[in-house]
Amino acid sequence: MPELGQKKLLGADDIRRAVARLAHEVVERNQGVESVVLVGLRTRGLPLARRLQQRILEFEGVEVPLGELDITLYRDDVHQRAPRPLSPTSIPVDISDKTVVLVDDVLYTGRTIRAALDALIDLGRPRSIQFVCLIDRGHRELPIRPDYVGKNVPTSRHEKVAVRLEEIDGIDEVALIAPVEATL
Amino acid sequence: MTLEVLSRPSLAQARQLQPARRQRRHVLDLDDFSVAEIEAVLETAGAMQDVLQRPIKKVPTLRGKTLITVFYEASTRTRVGFEVAAKALGADTVSVAASTSSVTKGESLIDTIRTLQALGADFVVMRHHQAGAPYVVAEEVGPVTSVINAGDGWHAHPSQALLDLFTIRERLGRISGLRVAIIGDVLHSRVARSNLWGLTLMGANVVLCGPPPFLPAAGFCDGLPWNLERTYRLDEALDGADVIMLLRMQLERQTGGMFPSLREYVRTYGLTEERLARAKPGAVVMHPGPMNEGVEIDPRVARGPQSAIEDQVRNGVAVRMAMLYLLSGLPA
Amino acid sequence: MIRLAGGRILDPASGRDEIGDVLIDDGRLVERLAPNGEAVIDVSGFVVAPGFVDLHCHLREPGFEDAETIATGTRAAAAGGFTTVCALADTRPSTDTGSDVEALLTQALRDAVVRVLPLGTTTKQRAGQELSEMADMAAAGAVAFSDDGRAIRSASLMRHALEYSLLVERPISSHAQDADLAEGGVMHEGPLATVLGLKGIPREAEEIAVARDLALARLTGGRLHLAHLSTAGAVDQVRRAKAAGVRVTAEVAPHHLVLSEVAITDRPYDTNARTDPPLRSIDDARALLEGVRDGTIDCIASDHSPRRWVDKACEFDQALPGISGLETTFGLLMRLVHSRTLSLAELIGALTHRPADAWNLPYGTLAPGAPADVVVLDPDQAWVVDPERFLSKGKNTPLGGQALRGTVLLTVAQGRIAYRNGL
Residue pLDDT, tens place only, B52-77: 998 889 999 999 999 999 999 888 88
Q: Which residues of B touch C221 (CB under 8 A)?
A: 218
The yes-or-no verdict on residue C77 having pLDDT over 90 is: yes
Q: Determine the Cα–Cα distance for residues C123 and B274; give it in Å rounded to an integer.
A: 31
Contacting residues of B for C134, CB less than 8 Å apart: 260, 264
CB atoms within 10 A of CB B35: 15
Residue B6, pLDDT above cutoff 50:
no
**Residues B40, B166 within the same domain:** no
Amino acid at B125: V
Nearest to C64 by CA among C310, C402, C232: C310
Tell me: do B319 and B299 sit in the same domain: no
CATH number for position B201: 3.40.50.1370
Q: What percent of chain B has pLDDT over 70?
A: 88
Beta-sheet strands, E only, within C136-223: 144-146, 172-174, 187-188, 200-201
Answer yes or no: do B126 and B245 share one domain: no
Say how far apart CA C285 and CA C339 lie, in whole Å.
14
Q: How confident is the model at residue A150 (pLDDT cuts 50, 70, 90)?
A: very high
Among A171-180, C2-11, C54-63, name the one with the lowest average pLDDT: A171-180
Class of C51-361 in CATH: alpha beta
Helices B77-88, B158-172: inter-axial angle, 10-degree rounding: 80
Q: Taking 50 as the threshold, does the pLDDT of residue B5 lie above it? A: no
Q: Please determine, for residue B16, whether its predicted confidence score (pLDDT) is greater than 70.
A: no
Bigger pLDDT: B258 or A107? A107
Residue count of chain A, please give it: 184
pTM more than 0.90: no
Are C166 and B232 a contacting pair at CB < 8 A?
yes
d(CA B271, CA B210): 12
Task: Give the total residue count for chain B.
Answer: 332
| Angle, vertex CA B53, rays to CA B47 and CA B56, nearest 5 | 105
C159, C166, C219, C220: best to mutate for the B interface, most B CBs within 10 A:
C166
Instruction: Please tell me the distance from the alpha carbon of residue C55 to that of residue C41, in angstroms, as a whole number.
Output: 29
Domain ranges of chain C: 51-361
Alpha carbon of A85: minimum distance to chain B alpha carbons (Å): 7
Determine the Cα–Cα distance for residues C352 and C12; give it in Å rounded to an integer. 8
Specify if B108 maps to a domain.
yes
Verify that B166 and B137 share a domain, yes or no. no
Chains B and A touch (3+ CB pairs under 8 A): yes
At B122, give phi and psi (nearest 5°): -90, -35
Cα torsion B219, B225, B227, B229 to 10°: value is -10
Q: Report whether pLDDT(B331) > 60.
A: no
Q: Is residue B230 part of a domain?
A: yes
- First CA to last CA across chain A, in angstroms? 14
- Of B18, B39, B326, give the one whose Cα is nearest residue B169: B39
Residue B138: give the domain boundaries.
Answer: 5-157+314-327
Cis peptide before C277 (omega within 30 of 0): yes
What is the C-alpha to C-alpha distance for residues B246 and B295, in angstroms, rounded to an integer?
A: 11
Residues B200 and B153 in one domain: no
> Does C120 contact chain B (CB < 8 Å)?
no
In a domain, B106, yes or no: yes
SS3 category, B326: helix
* Total number of domains constituting chain B: 2
pLDDT tens-digit profile of C314-348? 889 889 999 999 999 999 999 999 999 999 999 99
- Pick from C49, C85, C44: which is nearest to C68 by CA? C85
Please give the C-alpha separations between residue A101 and each of A23, A116, C159, in angstroms, as whole numbers: 11, 11, 73
Say yes or no: B12 and B153 in one domain: yes
Alpha carbon distance C81, B290 (integer Å): 58
d(CA B118, CA B101): 16
- The structural domains of chain A, ordered by start, are 3-74+86-180 (3.40.50.2020)
Angle at B326 between CA B324 and CA B330, to 5 degrees: 105
**Pick from B60, B329, B330: which is nearest to A118 by CB?**
B60
Nearest residue in A to B327, CA atom: A83
> In terms of domains, do B168 and B278 share one?
yes
Domain for residue B332, yes or no? no
Q: Does A87 touch chain B (CB under 8 A)?
A: yes
The DSSP symbol for B99 reads: G
Do B132 and B201 belong together in one domain?
no
Q: How far apart are CA A58 and CA A52, in angstroms?
A: 10
Per-residue pLDDT reduced to its tens digit, C271-320: 999 999 999 999 999 999 999 999 999 999 999 999 999 999 988 988 99
Per-residue pLDDT, averaged over A106-122, amounts to: 94
CA distance B224 to B226: 6
B322 and B294, same structural domain?
no
Query: Which residue from B218, B260, B268 is facing C131, i.e. has the nearest CB?
Result: B260
**A144: Cα within 13 Å, side-chain hemisphere:** 25
